[in-house]
Chain A
Amino acid sequence: MPQFKEANLEVNLDEIKHLVSERAIKGETMLLNMGPQHPSTHGVLRLLLELDGETIVNCIPDIGFLHTGIEKNMEAKSYQKAEVMTDRLDYLNTVGNNLAYCLAVEKLVDLDVPPRAQAIRVILTELQRIASHLVWLGTSALDVAAMSVFLYCFREREMILDIFELCSGQRMMTTYFRPGGLWRDVPVEFEDAVRRFIDYFPKRVDQYEALLTRNPLFLDRTMGIGKLTTEQALQYGVTGPPLRATGLAWDLRKVRPYSGYEQYDFDIPTRTEGDVYARYLVRVQEMRESLKIVRQALEKLPYGPVRSNNRKYVPPPRSEIGVDMEALIHHFKLWTEGFHAPKGAVYAAVESPRGELGVYLESDGGTKPYRVHWRTPSFDNLQVLPLLAKGHLVADLVAIIGSVDIVLGDVDR
């Protein structure tokens, strides 16, 4: 048993000298820690702030408190088993992470997905997008002291989580999408439950908007705060709603469709201001657009299988195992050794509620991924925070962090 040496975790000025201004070294400005235990940092984010009075001179984010080594762990598991970890990355977009991973594996081994599975994937991913935006709306409104919105948002989110529970047995960590399709078909109650939600929800969005969109207190806190231009956004790799709030209509569902998004008719909401308020408007509008997609997908939900018939990669159904020797062999092979993926590297990207979520997957021909890299949107979106925060008050920083919508599980992986 090795003896761990005593760690020196104190921050000293020498290490961060190049990140703060001259005045901090002379002692004219104050260095202040915000987080990691601060309610409005949305998790365990630590910000080292250099303050001149209450104005932010420099903001130095410190991340890694939630680093779980998922990329390393996935290298030690077979392709199917590694998927369980993907839910834990961005815990507000669990089915979206599953989707990105499944798309990468399907691309790597060249696997088909039946139309019914694709449509169900789209429905659930869009519901997840609404659920994620609801958490964002609730918590970021709470950050600027609008308490009631938080309670309403979580009430509606619970309806979506109930739908997930109906399909997969889990509210959040579903692992419902599998390479080649879904774990199993949706239950009969599914369509009614989704229909109930899409009939009920539009009125609720109107209600949130009635509470916030023209609320003078909310406008004071959000308009003109944390401005970002399109050039800066591209320079910093910012994607998702913060990018669309600068005026660039860029959505991977439209420009590089996957999972059959090309069949659905929806708009990409954009604003040109690029401030906290613009990001709010874009996300609220996105909830309505997602609802449109869900409605269309549900209307023309095709019948048929939900898993690919390619037995080399997808386990056979339970009913076949008892009667078919070959199915039993495939089942045994797939759940012990796993499947061999061809040698090569692929990059699959989806539009998560936060931006471009990409999976870089490399295989050496074995049964385990040789390297999985997650290009997580929160990581790059957080990086632009010092730029957004400069010159604002500490109270505005709280609104800015809320508007960027980071999930620390997504940042630290």
Chain B
Amino acid sequence: MEEKLQAIVQALKEKFEAQVEEFRDEVHLLLAPEHLITALTDLRDRHGFEMLVTVTAVDYWPQTKPRFHVVYQLRSFSKNLVLSLRVPVDGDEPTLPTATGLYANANWREREVWDMFGIRFEGHPDLRRILMPKDWEGHPLRKDYPLGYEEPQFTFNFDEIDLSKPRARK
């Protein structure tokens, strides 16, 4: 771990009882959901992490406690550091507080996580689906969501498949 990062990680670890994991010189901080916003505020205002690079999630289904890890990747321009925060959340319909008040680009990133994983962000100003159509059911990047395929249309099943395409026939 880089020296500059060491001090920051130590401070966060003590303040939020965070777990530190290191893998291939990258630091992952595991935080409880209730500390998320204070930790992000601290990182932005006191430790110089000016940019939220990305927000994403990982589904550990069929495990339920925690089912998801929400990953916040942060970058400091002044100190040239990267850090990732991981927040475990339980259950099938989890919620987390939104980071849109701290980082403006959290808006679309959180919408994407909601769309793909079904994790709700409390207080988000515009939590609509972003990549999938608005009437889509389910959240595609969950592990219990099948990959799916389209059945090829041959002569023997032409009519049957054609029936399922009302929009194409219009």
Q: Chain A residues in contact with chain B, CB under 8 A?
A: 1-4, 6-9, 15, 18-19, 63-64, 67, 69, 71-73, 76, 107-108, 110, 234-237, 248, 250, 255-256, 344-347, 349, 356, 358, 360, 362, 370-371, 373, 375, 379-380, 383, 412-413
In contact, A18 and B133 (Cβ under 8 angstroms):
no
Question: Which A residues lie within 8 Å of B107 (CB)?
Answer: 383
In contact, B23 and A346 (Cβ under 8 angstroms):
yes
Closest chain B CB from A390 CB (angstroms): 14
In contact, B105 and A236 (Cβ under 8 angstroms):
yes
Closest chain B CB from A383 CB (angstroms): 5
Question: Which B residues lie within 8 Å of A1 (CB)?
Answer: 151, 160-161, 163-164
Q: CB within 8 Å of A: which of B141-170?
A: 141, 147, 151, 160-161, 163-167
Question: How long is the Cα–Cα vector from A2 to B150 in the complex, in angstroms?
Answer: 12
Interface contact tally, CB-CB below 8 A:
109
From A8, A63, A73, B135 is in contact (CB under 8 Å) with: A8
Closest chain B CB from A347 CB (angstroms): 6
Inter-chain pairs besides A69-B140, A72-B140, A237-B53, 9 sampled, C-beta below 8 Å: A1-B151, A9-B135, A63-B130, A71-B116, A346-B23, A375-B73, A383-B105, A383-B107, A412-B131
From B73, B116, B125, B166, A358 is in contact (CB under 8 Å) with: B73
From A3, A234, A236, A383, B164 is in contact (CB under 8 Å) with: A3
In contact, B135 and A15 (Cβ under 8 angstroms):
no
The yes or no answer to B24 lying at the interface (CB within 8 A) is yes
Known contacts A9-B133, A345-B23, A412-B131: A375-B147 contact under CB 8 Å:
no
Q: Chain B residues in contact with chain A, CB under 8 A?
A: 23-24, 26, 28, 50-54, 56, 58-59, 71, 73, 77, 80, 82, 84, 103-105, 107-109, 116, 125-126, 128-135, 140-141, 147, 151, 160-161, 163-167
Question: Which A residues lie within 8 Å of B51 (CB)?
Answer: 234, 237
Closest chain B CB from A37 CB (angstroms): 17
Question: Which A residues lie within 8 Å of B165 (CB)?
Answer: 4
Question: Which B residues lie within 8 Å of A346 (CB)?
Answer: 23-24, 26
In contact, A375 and B53 (Cβ under 8 angstroms):
yes
Question: How long is the Cα–Cα vector from A235 to B99 in the complex, in angstroms?
Answer: 12
In contact, A362 and B160 (Cβ under 8 angstroms):
no
Known contacts A63-B130, A234-B51: A380-B105 contact under CB 8 Å:
yes
Question: Which A residues lie within 8 Å of B82 (CB)?
Answer: 347
